[in-house]
Structure 1
């Protein structure tokens, strides 16, 4: 049995684990990185990268084969940045295989024992299968397998109307498939209903069938492929089935009990410093049981690097974390939705909005659908909702505003280039101040006094 002593051992080479490894080793720490599957994790190989590549290919009018060639080429272009070779060149010891804890500070992998001062669990998540009779016995796809389809589905059934389901619905419809989305509740249920209505209307206009409030009670094979029986007695039939009903933390087989690491239904139990019940063991990203986004894993990496390397009491926050659904139109959110903000702040809340129809660049490019809605309490934004062209790009400004706790005056004082879509944020800030300036009798009296008495 080979033994390695190190400062930091990271289990999982997805976005979070790679960020910790690269940062720590370049600042002088000894780092061991363990990965059982492909470097880059779900994001590179079966998540963010291939899904956005497929969306782009579909929107660009590529055919089925060309679109999947583009997906593979995109992964191949990014893969060297996440490769074993790059991280070994940085000084990281990379071990391939499944890790298991053998004690509070030790793990084993493929005949090697790694003893570390700090251990980071960054094993991510895997697709969650709903408890629907017949599903496990019926051929189905997940995000881990749908990008490997050789032939185009005639009719793709999608269980789940969340971001993954809606993105894949639009992409496959544009690639020539019939598509039906089955959602037991409301499509994109976490998001602002007014914004969601723009997305669902767009998908329906393109020919995607969206069955909301449709509860599947049985899944099985049919003469033509797959059939789903709903609780209202209807049967939906298709050639292929994609299951997009959420994700579950990957903690199986880690023997966490041997390290004194407690878990919950969501994943590893952590405090606000992302430490587990074993203070030497951290968990980041999806496995930490919170928001499941690649950029959250990267953010978590920065939090624990400050803690592990410099002893700083860094804590993870959530109120400034944005999320985006990359349909057309895009839907982006940071902080509280309007409903959440009204519940939290009551009468102190003000909601201001600006429509893309009033944005000159949007008019010039004929992309006027959508709006920005900002929730403001005592002069500070507490949430922002964007639906429309490039919403994911424009939400970053409001993520900064929430992260830095900026006031609306900071946004109003920003000079945005003209004409740009980004002017919509400045217009929203102007809308917040307009009644305070133009409808205020005290302001008008002050202006008249200045004009009368100031030479």
Structure 2
């Protein structure tokens, strides 16, 4: 058994772990990286990358069938589901070298392809090796949550870890769970020719602003996605190709395939956290504002830290770890500037407080600014006028932004910059956006904040009147 001493041990080669390993190694730290499964983690292999690739296939099919408004005849798309999955695999393969073992070994990282578990507060065993590290970063991510619904163990079902391996298009896909994964895959499969029913125990897209979520849900229903809300799954029965989901209220949904998309569980079961004195809390490892666990030499980042479960959050955490564990500088997590997006069509994006949250926190000090896509010339030109931006403003500073519409995931980037740097609406208004772009939506929202102050103000009109009298 080999004993390896290192400055930094990273457990998990997903987005966060890879970012820590690359940064620390290139800065001169001695780094060991453990990965017992696939390099790149969930995002590359089962999550963000393959889902967006399949969404692109669905978008292409939808475009062929809905081109008449642009003067191009509609055609019935000839969807080859297996070829669409080849596209997904090719996208993964194109990105994979960036996350490969060879690349990280080129950085000087010692990569060990084994799962690791603690055997003491300072030691981790991985296969035949024992690693002793000055600092440890747990970045093991999360996996699909499979709830104990009666009968589920007796029928075949998919999760995001198996869905992209399907080669034959589901005739009728049942999806339990109306969150981002469920809704993205619902629309993609509907556009690729499957019937789709989403079965949600409460409200679909419940973590988003209800007004904005309704814009997305209405579009999905218009495209033929059946969305059943308040339909808590109580029993599942059937066999391959013929599956039934019975809701608590007696409704029965029948389909050929079943996708479980009810959430995520953190990957901690292999770690033997007790041996290291590391406690868990809620759905993840307990961490403080510096992402340190109850073992002060061990950090937890990304999904496994039990907070917001997004790839970009893991990347953000990685930056904090580089600052803290590698450079020895203070670093504390904040979440008010973290955006997220759901890549349906139209897209839905959010940062900071929703309208309801802002009203609860700020009361009458809150101003809500609205601007509709229907007044954006580029959206009109492209016939993508379904959409809305809402900016929650307190004393001239945005505290939250909700966007539903085309390119919402791109538009939210500006507001991520604004909230991260505590900028004011006046600074957004000062921006000059090229015309015509969807990006003008952001500037027009800022303009909507200042318009009443400039054009409906008797004081401003009085000042302008005086200036006009005195100007030569």
TM-score, normalising length: structure 2: 0.95
Deviates more, 1:156-165 or 1:445-454: 445-454
User: Which position in structure 2 is the counterpart of 1:35?
Assistant: 35
User: Which position in structure 1 is the counterpart of 2:318?
Assistant: 301
CA distance in 2, matches of 1:168, 1:218: 22
User: Which position in structure 2 is the counterpart of 1:431?
Assistant: 448
User: Which position in structure 1 is the counterpart of 2:66?
Assistant: none
How far 1:379 moved relative to its partner?
0.4
CA distance in 2, matches of 1:146, 1:224: 15
| CA contact 2:156–2:240 (8 Å) conserved in 1 | no
User: Which position in structure 2 is the counterpart of 1:191?
Assistant: 208
Unaligned runs of 5+ in 1: none
SS in 1 for 2:221: helix
TM-score, normalising length: structure 1: 0.99
SS in 2 for 1:53: helix
Q: Deviations over 1:27-67 (max 9, x none)?
A: 00000000000000000000000000000011112521221
User: Which position in structure 1 is the counterpart of 2:307?
Assistant: 290
User: Which position in structure 1 is the counterpart of 2:70?
Assistant: none
How far 1:453 moved relative to its partner?
2.4
Q: Deviations over 1:424-447 (max 9, x none)?
A: 110000110011111111111111
Matches within 5 A, 1:411-426: 411-426=428-443
Matches within 5 A, 1:324-339: 324-339=341-356
CA distance in 2, matches of 1:307, 1:245: 34
User: Which position in structure 2 is the counterpart of 1:274?
Assistant: 291
Alignment length (residue pairs): 455
| CA contact 2:155–2:239 (8 Å) conserved in 1 | no
Matches within 5 A, 1:388-427: 388-427=405-444
User: Which position in structure 1 is the counterpart of 2:116?
Assistant: 99
User: Which position in structure 1 is the counterpart of 2:60?
Assistant: 60
SS in 1 for 2:449: helix
Residue 377 (str. 1) matches residue 394 (str. 2): yes
Q: Deviations over 1:294-331 (max 9, x none)?
A: 00000000011100112111111111111101000000
CA distance in 1, matches of 2:196, 2:157: 15
Residue 230 (str. 1) matches residue 250 (str. 2): no
CA distance in 2, matches of 1:450, 1:224: 77
CA distance in 1, matches of 2:153, 2:299: 33
Q: Deviations over 1:355-396 (max 9, x none)?
A: 110001111111111011100001000000111111100000
Q: Which runs of 4+ in 1 moved over 6 A?
A: none
| CA contact 2:240–2:257 (8 Å) conserved in 1 | no
Q: Deviations over 1:87-133 (max 9, x none)?
A: 00110000011101111221011110111000000000011112311
SS in 1 for 2:49: helix
Unaligned runs of 5+ in 2: 62-78
Residue 211 (str. 1) matches residue 228 (str. 2): yes
CA distance in 1, matches of 2:366, 2:435: 30
Structure 1 counterpart of 2:174, from 139, 157, 160: 157
Q: Deviations over 1:398-424 (max 9, x none)?
A: 111110000000000000001100001
